[in-house]
Amino acid sequence: MPKFVKIPLLAIATLAGLFVVTFTVYFLNLDMKLLSKIEPFFLKHYDKMPRKNYV
């Protein structure tokens, strides 16, 4: 296949693949499910930080 046909087809296939992956993450709400697993570690870290509470 000529190079001027191969490169656009590769770009289209890559963009289509990225679209499918991002759509799946959005549709199944995988980002929030992952964040709910990571959140306790963040809370533990930020709860240990010193606070400056001025009234």
Each residue's pLDDT tens digit, 10-43: 999 999 999 999 999 999 999 999 999 999 999 9
Residue 53 lies in a domain: no
CA pair distance 34, 47, nearest whole angstrom:
20
Q: Is the pLDDT of residue 1 over 90?
A: no
Q: Is residue 7 a contact partner of residue 1, using CB atoms and an 8 Å limit?
A: no
Domain total of the chain: 1
Domain, as residue range, for 7: 3-47
CA separation, residue 27 to residues 6, 20, 24, 32, 37 (Å)? 31, 10, 5, 11, 18
Residue 54 lies in a domain: no
Residue 52 lies in a domain: no
* The amino acid at 1: M
Residue 21 lies in a domain: yes
